Structure 1
Amino acid sequence: MVYVIKVGGNVIDNAVLLDKFLADFAAVPGKKILIHGGGKIATRVGDKLGIESRYVNGRRITDADTIDVVTMVYGGLVNKQIVAKLQAKGCNAIGLTGADANIIPAVKRPVKEIDYGFVGDIPAGNVEAAPIQLLLDAGLTPVFSPLTHNGEGQILNTNADTIASSLAVALGAHYPVRLIYCFEKKGVLRNVEDDDSVINLINRDNYQTLLAEGALADGILPKLENAFAAIDNGVKEVLIGHADDVRKNTTDAVAGTLIC
């Protein structure tokens, strides 16, 4: 089994939570990959440089100045700090972007109603699995920042959830893969006001029932659609759960929501 684990920004932004998460991640046995974000840190660094962050529908507009900031922060500051912390915990990590070894070529998002700037979308089948296999087989743990490239020298800011899903699909052709999304909730909740109302198992059948009942919050729907898309393309399982449960969620005794 290969574990492809994405950790949310609320953990990255909190030094105490991040240290605990990385200790748990380092303790996960076998082959694993980590994907991280770092949006709030990029915003703070941009503010110090006098570069204003702009969002539309919660998505960052990545203009020429902003792509420089996110490249420095995601690919440099955050990524290398995580790698260094993992080394201190006995996990032999290697920091990467999608440009390294041409692992994730992407395309700049077309301009429609909104120009998102230097934002990357990953076409289906565009991830190169072979370099990742070499790293995993050498006992290394890849740590990906949310950056890709367009093959013409341009770095692109790319959604970390999408990178995680794309990596999981590419590796699913070679290994059984569990894709794990770690965030600040215990899983997919039936009632967003009740943190203990976790739905432990979602499949295609009960997903449609839950939708019809209006039991799912709008914010979780994109994650679930990504999860089913990954499963449809060869990923064995997808797990959505709390960052504190990452160690447990790499076992059979899962604590979050298993999608299969």
Structure 2
Amino acid sequence: MKTPPSGAGGINIVKIGGNVIENEQELDAFLTLFAQLPEPKILVHGGGKLASEMAKKLDIPIKMTQGRRITDVETLDVITMVYGGKVNKNIVAKLQAKKCNAIGLSGADGNTILSVKRPVKDVDFGFVGDVVAVNTEVITSLLSAGLTPVFCAITHDKNGQLLNTNADTIACEIARSLTENHEVTLFYCFEKAGVLKNVSDENSVIKEINLEEYRKLVENGTVSEGMLPKLQNCFYALEGGVHRVQLGKPAMLNPNETEFTSLSL
């Protein structure tokens, strides 16, 4: 684990889940809290459910395997429209109304996030990207100019191809890339209050999880399915020098909130 650089300025990176994005009232409440966070800060979002709704309207089949989306050419078009267009610009406009000078980006803008198309192994995921590089110089210049980057879950391969990329992973990779010069806090905001001992009991939040405890939770099945890759990203971020990682509802962006899960090595 890296030691945060001496005298480094803090930066907050927040990833917001699709269940919040698709609820207008919850999204507005989240963006109010995000706008109140001190600068510099970065927001990362997906929008998978809204993309699925649009695909249905356009009569484009939704192909999934092991809970993951297969991104063919038509699906990539939908994702680009929804993530990079409707969702991203809606969020940016709402943040501007809240006095947060946001700028909407994909990984192709400013060559900020470079990916490679995921190789075909057991499954061909199509136009899905795995991040290989983050352009910290461009991101830092935007932050220095007083702008708040809002990244959608689209990257590129620098050969003209856009790629659908997991938003949790994008947030993690951006966070890791900025640890050389910043003390980074990474927030994963979603519809749950944190990591739960019992998925049907919102009051069973596990307040703190270290790497050893995480491995035990995986072994006993407490952490499984969609929470598994999310926590893998969390610990990968910590191993890369991220100072603090928190998971929970958007309310955890309020400094007085105590109901969330905090992760450590």
Normalized against structure 1, the TM-score is what?
0.93
Residue type of the alignment partner of 1:23: T
Residue type of the alignment partner of 1:139: G
**Equivalent residue for 1:44, pick from 49, 53, 69:** 53
Deviation digits for residues 193-233 of structure 1, max 9, x if unmatched? 21111111111233334445544344322222211111111
**Inter-partner Cα distance in structure 2 for 1:135 and 1:33:** 10
* Residue 141 (structure 2) pairs with residue 134 (structure 1): yes
Q: Which residue of 1 aligns with 2:77?
A: 68
8 A Cα contact 1:192 1:217, kept in partner? no
**Equivalent residue for 1:97, pick from 86, 91, 106:** 106
Structure 1: unaligned runs, 5 residues or longer: none
Residue type of the alignment partner of 2:54: V
SS at match of 1:195: coil
Residue type of the alignment partner of 2:95: L
Q: Which residue of 1 aligns with 2:32?
A: 23
* Residue 238 (structure 2) pairs with residue 234 (structure 1): no
Q: Which residue of 1 aligns with 2:189?
A: 182
Q: Which residue of 2 aligns with 1:202?
A: 209
- Call closer, same or farther: CA 1:211–1:62 in 2, change over 3 Å: closer
**Inter-partner Cα distance in structure 2 for 1:70 and 1:236:** 32
Residue type of the alignment partner of 1:24: L
Structure 2: unaligned runs, 5 residues or longer: 1-9
8 A Cα contact 1:99 1:149, kept in partner? yes
- Call closer, same or farther: CA 1:49–1:219 in 2, change over 3 Å: closer
- Call closer, same or farther: CA 1:214–1:157 in 2, change over 3 Å: closer
**Inter-partner Cα distance in structure 2 for 1:13 and 1:210:** 30
SS at match of 2:205: coil
* Deviates further, 219-228 or 157-166: 219-228
Instruction: Give the superposition deviation at 1:254.
Output: 4.3
8 A Cα contact 1:165 1:226, kept in partner? yes
8 A Cα contact 2:155 2:165, kept in partner? yes
Q: Which residue of 2 aligns with 1:225?
A: 232
SS at match of 1:172: coil
Deviation digits for residues 18-49 of structure 1, max 9, x if unmatched? 11111111111121110011112112222222
**Inter-partner Cα distance in structure 1 for 2:177 and 2:258:** 24
SS at match of 2:127: coil
**Inter-partner Cα distance in structure 1 for 2:128 and 2:23:** 26
Residue type of the alignment partner of 2:173: S
**Equivalent residue for 2:250, pick from 237, 243, 255:** 243
**Equivalent residue for 1:161, pick from 168, 172, 178:** 168
Q: Which residue of 1 aligns with 2:261?
A: 257
**Inter-partner Cα distance in structure 1 for 2:199 and 2:229:** 16
Deviation digits for residues 126-163 of structure 1, max 9, x if unmatched? 11111111111111110000000011000000000000
- Call closer, same or farther: CA 1:212–1:67 in 2, change over 3 Å: closer
**Inter-partner Cα distance in structure 1 for 2:79 and 2:215:** 38
* Deviates further, 238-247 or 94-103: 238-247
8 A Cα contact 2:218 2:224, kept in partner? no
